[in-house]
Amino acid sequence: MTDPADVEAAVVDAHRRGWALVLAATVRVARDLDLAEECVQEAYAAALETWARDGIPDNPVAWLTTTAKRRAMDAVRRERVFRSKLPLLVEPEESEDSVDEAAMGEQGESTADHPEDVVPDERLRLIFMCCHPALAQDAQLALTLRLVCGVPTGDIARAFLVSEPTMAARLTRAKKKISAARIPFRVPEAAELPDRLRAVLGVIHLLFTAGHTAPSGDSLVRTDLVDQSLRLTRMLRNLMPDEREVWGLLALLLVTDARRATRVDDQGRLLRLEDQDRSRWDRTAMAEAHDLIVDGLRGGRPGRYVLQAAIASLYAEAPTYDRTDWQQILTLYDALLSVWPSPVVALNRTVPLAMVSGLARALAEVEELEKDGRLAGYQYLPAIRADLLQRLGRDEEAAAAHREALELTRNETEREFLAGRIADSHRP
């Protein structure tokens, strides 16, 4: 018998490293998202019992893939209706013998060649599949984050500023639409990739955001999600090397993640940007991001990710927080709002606005955004309002705003930071 703790750790690692690979392989057999997801979940559950009895396999992801595919094949045999309900792929039917093979390499990658697949990576392929243009973009993003990336429904809901039941209902409707409309949920051809690129970029960016500041849990950062999003973006750049927005997303991720080592102190407490040790930032990543941004700004109007990367780069390249080029950042935010009129962008814009036009002007814009209602439940709105109020000397109002932010925050590192700000406001 294998130690249950070792088995549990192996299953958790296989889930983090191989969920998308196992699901993608199972979809090829099940040809139905719900059935594939169910079979994959059953495979992971079976691993807890089987591995404890027989030992952890040399390649856990391959074992899970074989188990999930066999369960899918059995389900399809029992209910032939699944074969006609949702034809996901246009490639030839797999034989039963091929279904039984793991076809997985040393790290859980598929060793079977699929020359018709223009997207070489299994994870990226499944993202392109889920980002089907027949679905609303929010549904594409949410469905992909849940199925491909394994992000919990509650965390996706917080990213979209809706309740968890609302997000669960959206996911269910998206899958039902795929089934009822008989959407050909297949690997897209090369000519179809640009039409799905915007949604794919959005998925990867949201995945990075969920890793950079985890929506819930004890740790500020989920390095597995950050590293996965960086890896996916690099693969996407290799696949579509002429797309400037891909360059922009890669630059944004690189320059943002360059601060990873300095975002908390030795005790794990959150540090504001102005308190971080800039000498410890990853200069290699920042330099790569700078080159990508320069290239992205050439040759026409820049898009959302190029502009976001340029803003992040200006923050990072300043020798000190006080010497940040606030006016240039504000100008870039105005350009960003013109191509991506998001209330979150408008809120973030109030930070440089306070430095350029004064605290009162920035606070007035924050209050207008609050009246607008689209950022209801977004914890960073009361947090920014609290900071502005505190800098204006309105300590009681600042403490109330910090408490409001605290009630909306689920990440423990951020909660401890906000609690500290509340305590500071009550000190004489």
The answer, yes or no, to whether residue 96 has pLDDT greater than 70, is no
Give the residue, 364 or 174, on which the prediction is more confident: 364
Structure tokens at 129: 């599949």
pLDDT tens digits for range 237-259? 999 999 999 999 999 999 999 99
For residue 243, CA distances in Å to 180, 248, 277, 306, 339 come to 34, 9, 34, 11, 17
Structure tokens at 309: 């990367």
Helix (H, G, I), strand (E, B) or coil at 217: strand
Sign of CA dihedral 355, 357, 361, 365: negative
Structure tokens at 227: 């590293």
Q: How far apart are CA 226 and CA 210, in angstroms?
A: 8
pLDDT tens digits for range 40-74? 999 999 999 999 999 999 999 999 999 999 999 88
- Placement of tokens 């973006």 in the chain: 233
Radius of gyration of the chain (CA): 23
Residue 242's CB: how many other CB atoms inside 10 A? 7
Find out whether 130 and 87 touch, Cβ atoms under 8 Å: no
Geometric angle at alpha carbon 20, from 134 and 204, rounded to 5°: 60
pLDDT of residue 133: 82
Q: How far apart are CA 148 and CA 165, in angstroms?
A: 20
Supply the DSSP string of 305-342, one letter for each residue: HHHHHHHHHHHHHSSSSTTS-HHHHHHHHHHHHHH---
The average confidence (pLDDT) of the chain is 86
pLDDT of residue 48: 92
The answer, yes or no, to whether residue 111 has pLDDT greater than 60, is no
Geometric angle at alpha carbon 176, from 175 and 182, rounded to 5°: 95
Size of the chain in residues: 428
pLDDT tens digits for range 187-211? 678 888 888 999 999 999 999 999 9
Confidence band for 92, pLDDT divided at 50, 70 and 90: very low
pLDDT tens digits for range 296-324? 998 788 999 999 999 999 999 999 999 99
Q: Which helix (H) or strand (E) holds 411?
A: strand 410-411
Longest dimension (CA), the chain: 75
Q: Where are the domains of the chain?
A: 4-82, 193-210+217-341, 342-427
Structure tokens at 161: 């500023």
What does residue 424 show for φ and ψ, rounded to 5 degrees?
Answer: -65, -35
Confidence band for 90, pLDDT divided at 50, 70 and 90: very low
Q: Which helix (H) or strand (E) holds 36?
A: helix 33-54
Geometric angle at alpha carbon 198, from 142 and 307, rounded to 5°: 110
Q: What is the CATH number of domain 4-82?
A: 1.10.1740
Helix axes of 412-426 and 380-391: crossing angle, nearest 10 degrees: 30
What is the average per-residue pLDDT within 357-379?
A: 95
Whether domain 342-427 has CATH 1.25.40: yes
